[in-house]
Amino acid sequence: MTTTDSPPDARPGPARAPARRRRRTGDTERGFSRVFRWVATGSGAFLLLVLAAVAVFLVARGLPALTASPDELSDRGGLPTGMDSLWDLVGPLVFGTLLAAAMALLLATPVAIGIALFISHYAPRRAASVIGYVIDLLAAIPSVVFGLWGGRTLAPVISDVWVWVAGVLDVLPFWTVEVTNTGRSLATASVVLAVMILPIITAVSREVFLQTPTLHEEAALALGATRWEMIRTAVLPFGRSGVISAAMLGLGRALGETMAVLMILSPGILYSFQIFDSGQQQTIAAFIASRFAEASGLAVNVLIATGLALFVITMVVNMAARAIVARRKEFSGAN
Amino acid sequence: MSATSPTAATTTETAERTRALLTAADPGRRRADRAMTVLIYGAFALAVVPLVSLLWTVVLRGAERFDADFLLTSMRGVFGGMDMGGAYHAAVGTLMITLTATVISVPIGLLVAIYLVEYGRGALARATTFFVDVMTGIPSIVAGLFAFALFSIFLGPGAKLGIIAAVALSVLMIPVVVRSCEEMLKLVPNELREASYALGVPKWLTIVRVVLRTSVAGITTGVLLAVARVIGETAPILITAGVSDSINFNPFDGRMMTLPVYIFSQYRQGPVPCQEGALDCLVDINFDRAWAAALLLIVIVMLLNLIGRLVTRWFSPKLR
Amino acid sequence: MAQRIDVKDLNIYYGDFLAVEGVSMTIDPRSVTAFIGPSGCGKSTFLRTLNRMHEVIPGARVDGSVELEGVDLYGDDVDPVAVRRTVGMVFQRPNPFPTMSIRDNVLAGVKLNNKRISKSDADDLVESSLRGANLWNEVKDRLEKPGSGLSGGQQQRLCIARAIAVKPQVVLMDEPCSALDPISTLAIEDLIQELKKDYTIVIVTHNMQQAARVSDRTAFFNIAGTGKPGRLIEMNDTATIFSSPAEKATEDYVSGRFG
């Protein structure tokens, strides 16, 4: 292809060279086949265009909020009272989003690795596929149902646990732990988020663990390793980068999840580590969903600008995760 | 040594030493192994608890109001703690919006998959593959904001239509469709394509008649699973199609309710402040409706998953 | 330290399928015993039962007994993990851990034991094991480099060093040269001759010249047909097996008429 597609000046051939010679390998591609190729290629390009459009529209519609004066923002920007700059709003929201996602990740990753190892190295083969199906089932449950369950069933039950945990933590001298007895705290929301991102982390980790070469597992066992020691010497080092990217994919999900937070958390806009109390933090996605219906004019621009912040954060996380996965693929392909 | 002088004494001595060697399990290591086994079984049990609790609660609470009346009435004219009203309008909206999103997503997704598998080479293909993966990570609310911003150019800022929600869902659905179709097209063996070329069939006909025909079951499954994934989306629909109490079949005209948004709006209304002794007033009616709609939604999602898997099992051609 | 192995009436099953039937043999200490036979005759499977590595394969089980100095490896109080420390194994393809350095690969088995090992002891063990595997002079300047950077033959000798670092009594080798070039093969064969001074060596090989070169005794396994169990046909001094075997099948096999 590179030789046939050389620029015209490099090949000053006679003008009568038929256009069809451009692709020597494409002899069968005439008429509709060529149209079909362009349609297919065009849709590939269209997809990139859509992603670009998402970014462009968010920037274009968020821009008025970024350029508005403090007076305009506090007048018509729909900001909570007492705020006159966009950063006063976006800052705590980004903080809340990151805090919720980080806690969810901290809870979900060890459990997900455990389940993935259970499926790949502990459970009997027939049980393993059933368990994989059960975990997929967890992924199929809509987020709004998780929110309903979290708000109505989990929150009242788990609030007792939080009161106890807060009581234990309150022993620490430099930190007073506030706790609500409604359960509508960031801690509860994070638990539900953790359950929601469990399936994706499990699925990716499981695939990596299953790819561990039998050779290395047997080498460890033949040295007199127990099953856990075999996993520690052969499976975990092999799967480390895969688990990292799995966790980052999970992080991406947790960052963008709306309903579970919206339906469970009683929000506030503070930089606060009081994760067991209500009225402290809020996430970007839940904030947008809760304010969008009543917003108009500049307030909409403000919401879209916060959405842009979320978009940027999740894109960075996801691209990093995918880049790790892609590099891993190249490695295993070379071996 | 035992081989050269096999007296009884040395034999038992070496046997004892060997026995000591073979039974000398380090208790610390064995305990660590046991502990990890328990932890790993525990991790699985821990994941099953919320799943069972959720399904159990949804079935139990949802079944209370899950009847023909709930499925066939809307919320029009229902207010307060009235013991009536259903999710018919939401089911209709879900059907219309998801159908529209599917009609938009499947052709585009399928064509992109064909491009990646049959034509894709070079920078554009690499970029497309990478960004399809990245697109699967777009937060759903951002997709909603995008669709809103796109349509507000033509329709002004206040527009709330089913079609806007469908476009938002398409942004979420296309990458899923691409991924699953791509997997399915890759499964078609190259021999089939070459056999077709050898008969003088042009490439586009080969793709349509041979490749797509062979993988139609897998593609159907992929589409059904993609539908199952977006049918539960709430946030993008909430901000693009709004909330409605009435039946609306037209995605191009007026607000539309969907099941997930219905669940959310019922949940948000919370308990009803009934007057003392009021007979026709149920305090928890809104939550009851939310649970019933959640049951309906889960049944739909599970059915889509089940049918999707069965389609592959029954209709996929035997390639091996 | 080398020890003798007595196998009595050993049957090996995969689920309900009888893979190897009725093997009885004695393996002498400080000697090299070679297993030969056509593909699928169960010689590798049998080798794995000598350190219970077959238990890694789901559904695999044995009846009969394998005794190390009179102690049954399948006895109730015997720990399979301890068995594998006592009876080391080298595999068909070299398999150093890719994430570890050469030094860490040698120490991998020792470190499992959680016991704190002082740096000087560790250095001594690394050197003696690598010397034992005839690899020390080639790698002494790059002990911290990954083991996967070595050539195939060096990797296999690294695996042997790793196996003898845990101080086993017996070393099992499952076709250790099948993935190596002739020069590397010779290096391994020389090494086997040295190792037999200290260890009981059992080697499975497809290569009859190799069996003739390295082993003191040879066992010939055969299979009557697909779906039938593999059996031990005969076992004798290597010279006898290759010059005047008792069985017709052995003669046909060693003279290259099948297999």
**pLDDT (tens digit per residue) in C15-62:** 889 999 999 999 999 899 999 999 888 899 999 999 999 888 888 889
Which CATH number goes with the domain that contains A112? 1.10.3720.10
d(CA B293, CA B299): 10
Q: Is B306 on the interface with A (CB under 8 A)?
A: no
> Which of the residue ranges A16-30, A170-184, B112-126, B251-265 would you say has the lowest mean pLDDT?
A16-30
| pTM assigned to the model | 0.85
Q: Which of B3, B11, B22 lies at the smallest CB-CB distance from C68? A: B22
Residue C215 above 50 pLDDT? Answer: yes
The owner of tokens 């109505």 is A152
Closest CA to B144 of A250, A311, A147: A311
Chains that touch B (3 or more CB pairs under 8 A): A, C
d(CA A51, CA B19): 68
Helix (H) or strand (E) holding C237: strand C230-237
Distance from the C99 Cα atom to the nearest Cα atom in chain A, whole angstroms: 7
Question: For residue A222, is it within any domain?
Answer: yes
d(CA A131, CA C165): 40
Find residue C87's DSSP bridge partners: C170
pLDDT grade for C233, boundaries at 50, 70 and 90: very high
Find residue C18's DSSP bridge partners: C13
A235: region left, alpha or beta (phi > 0 left; psi from -120 to 50 alpha): alpha
Question: For residue A69, is it within any domain?
Answer: no
d(CA A147, CA A322): 28
Closest CA to B132 of B151, B108, B149: B108
CB pairs under 8 A between A and C: 65
Domain that holds residue A233: 86-331
C15: region left, alpha or beta (phi > 0 left; psi from -120 to 50 alpha): left
Contact A282, A92 (CB under 8 A): yes
Q: Is B195 on the interface with A (CB under 8 A)?
A: no
Q: Do A114 and B232 touch (CB under 8 A)?
A: no
Q: Which residue of A has its CA nearest to B24?
A: A224
Residue B9 above 60 pLDDT? Answer: no
How is residue C243 written in tokens? 């010059």
Q: Please give the pLDDT value at position C127.
A: 93
Question: Residue range B221-226: average pLDDT?
Answer: 90
Q: Do B39 and A114 touch (CB under 8 A)?
A: yes
Q: Is B36 on the interface with C (CB under 8 A)?
A: no
Q: Is A48 on the interface with B (CB under 8 A)?
A: yes
Q: Which of C82, C97, C98 lies at the smallest CB-CB distance from A224? A: C82
Residue B154 above 80 pLDDT? Answer: yes
Counting DSSP H helices and E strands in chain C, the numbers are 10, 10
Return the SS3 of C230: strand
With a CB-CB cutoff of 8 Å, which residues 79-108 of chain A face chain B? none
Q: Contacts of residue A127 in chain C, CB cutoff 8 Å?
A: none
| Range B85-118 burial, b when 16+ CB lie within 10 A, else e | bbbbbbbbbbebbbebbbebbbebbbbbbbbbbb
Residue ranges for chain A with pLDDT beneath 70 = 1-30, 328-335
Q: Per the structure, how many domains does chain A have? A: 1
How is residue A169 written in tokens? 């933590």
Return the SS3 of A48: helix
d(CA B293, CA A171): 45
pLDDT grade for C114, boundaries at 50, 70 and 90: low
Q: Do B44 and A131 touch (CB under 8 A)?
A: yes
Q: Is A235 on the interface with C (CB under 8 A)?
A: no
Q: Which of A216, A224, A238 lies at the smallest CB-CB distance from C112? A: A224
> Which of the residue ranges A78-82, B58-62, C5-9 would you say has the lowest mean pLDDT?
A78-82
B138: region left, alpha or beta (phi > 0 left; psi from -120 to 50 alpha): beta
The owner of tokens 């000697």 is C31
Counting DSSP H helices and E strands in chain B, the numbers are 14, 0
Contact B110, B182 (CB under 8 A): no
Distance from the C150 Cα atom to the nearest Cα atom in chain B, whole angstroms: 32
How is residue A210 written in tokens? 């299953």
Helix (H) or strand (E) holding C13: strand C5-14
Q: Please give the pLDDT value at position B8.
A: 54
Q: Contacts of residue B29 in chain C, CB cutoff 8 Å?
A: 81, 112-114
Distance from the C77 Cα atom to the nearest Cα atom in chain B, whole angstroms: 6
Helix (H) or strand (E) holding A303: helix A298-334
pLDDT grade for B238, boundaries at 50, 70 and 90: very high
Distance from the B2 Cα atom to the nearest Cα atom in chain C, whole angstroms: 8
Cα B192 to Cα A26, A28, A36, B38, B119: the distances in Å are 19, 17, 19, 50, 16
Q: Which of B51, B202, B297 lies at the smallest CB-CB distance from A138? A: B51
Contact A183, A162 (CB under 8 A): yes
Question: Residue range B198-227: average pLDDT?
Answer: 88
Contact C87, C50 (CB under 8 A): yes
d(CA C111, CA C165): 11
Helix (H) or strand (E) holding A52: helix A32-67
DSSP A80: P
Contact B223, B216 (CB under 8 A): no
For A283, phi then psi, to 5°, come to: -100, 160
Question: For residue A25, is it within any domain?
Answer: no
Which of A25, A27, A34, A43 is the best substitution to test chain B (most B C-beta atoms within 10 A)? A43
- Residue B112 makes CB contacts below 8 A (sequence gap 6+) with A40, A43, A44, A46, A47, B128, B132, B174, B178
> Which of the residue ranges A41-45, B91-95, B121-125 would you say has the lowest mean pLDDT?
B121-125
Question: Residue range C177-194: average pLDDT?
Answer: 89
Contact C102, C147 (CB under 8 A): yes
Question: For residue A326, is it within any domain?
Answer: yes
Q: Do B47 and A198 touch (CB under 8 A)?
A: yes
Packing angle of the helix pair A32-67, A298-334 (nearest 10 deg): 130
Q: With 0-12 CB in 10 A as exposed, 13-18 as middle and 19+ as buried, what is B208?
A: middle
Q: Average model confidence (pLDDT) for chain C?
A: 89
Neighbours of A275 (CB within 10 A): 22
For A5, phi then psi, to 5°, come to: -95, 20
Q: Please give the pLDDT value at position C80.
A: 87
Q: Contacts of residue C162 in chain A, CB cutoff 8 Å?
A: 219, 223
Q: Which of B39, B112, B157 lies at the smallest CB-CB distance from A44? A: B112
d(CA A227, CA A216): 13
Q: Is C84 on the interface with A (CB under 8 A)?
A: yes
Within C40-160, strands assigned E span: 60-68, 71-72, 87-90
- Residue C171 makes CB contacts below 8 A (sequence gap 6+) with C87, C88, C89, C90, C160, C163, C164, C195, C199, C200, C201, C202
Q: Which of B37, B127, B267 lies at the smallest CB-CB distance from A148? A: B267
d(CA C133, CA A56): 64
Q: Do B40 and A311 touch (CB under 8 A)?
A: no
Contact B289, B87 (CB under 8 A): yes
ipTM of predicted complex: 0.87
Distance from the C198 Cα atom to the nearest Cα atom in chain B, whole angstroms: 12
Q: Is C197 on the interface with B (CB under 8 A)?
A: no
Q: Do A249 and B137 touch (CB under 8 A)?
A: yes
pLDDT digits (tens, 9 = 90+) for B10-41: 667 777 778 887 877 678 888 888 999 999 99
d(CA A24, CA B292): 63
Closest CA to B162 of B72, B294, B252: B252
Question: Residue range B46-75: average pLDDT?
Answer: 91
Q: Do A44 and B143 touch (CB under 8 A)?
A: no
d(CA A44, CA B114): 9
How is residue A37 written in tokens? 């190729």
Return the SS3 of A259: helix
| Torsion angle defined by CA atoms of residues A99, A103, A104 and A110, in that order, rounded to the nearest 10 degrees | 150
Q: Is B130 on the interface with A (CB under 8 A)?
A: yes
Question: For residue A282, is it within any domain?
Answer: yes
Chains that touch C (3 or more CB pairs under 8 A): A, B
Q: Please give the pLDDT value at position C221.
A: 93
Q: Which of B2, B17, B21 lies at the smallest CB-CB distance from C4? A: B2
pLDDT digits (tens, 9 = 90+) for C148-171: 889 988 999 999 999 999 889 899
Contact B256, B242 (CB under 8 A): yes
| Torsion angle defined by CA atoms of residues B115, B120, B125 and B129, in that order, rounded to the nearest 10 degrees | 70
Q: Please give the pLDDT value at position C1.
A: 54
DSSP B274: P
Helix (H) or strand (E) holding C23: strand C17-27
pLDDT grade for B253, boundaries at 50, 70 and 90: confident
Neighbours of A265 (CB within 10 A): 29
Q: Is C68 on the interface with B (CB under 8 A)?
A: yes
With a CB-CB cutoff of 8 Å, which residues 28-47 of chain B face chain A? 29-30, 32-33, 36-37, 39-44, 46-47
Please report, as a single letter, which amino acid is at residue C89.
M
Helix (H) or strand (E) holding C33: strand C32-36
Q: Do A296 and B239 touch (CB under 8 A)?
A: no
Catalogue the long-range contacts made by A213-216 (C-beta closer than 8 Å, 24 or more residues apart). A213/A238, A213/C95, A215/C91, A215/C93, A215/C95, A216/C95, A216/C97, A216/C98
Q: Do B44 and A115 touch (CB under 8 A)?
A: yes
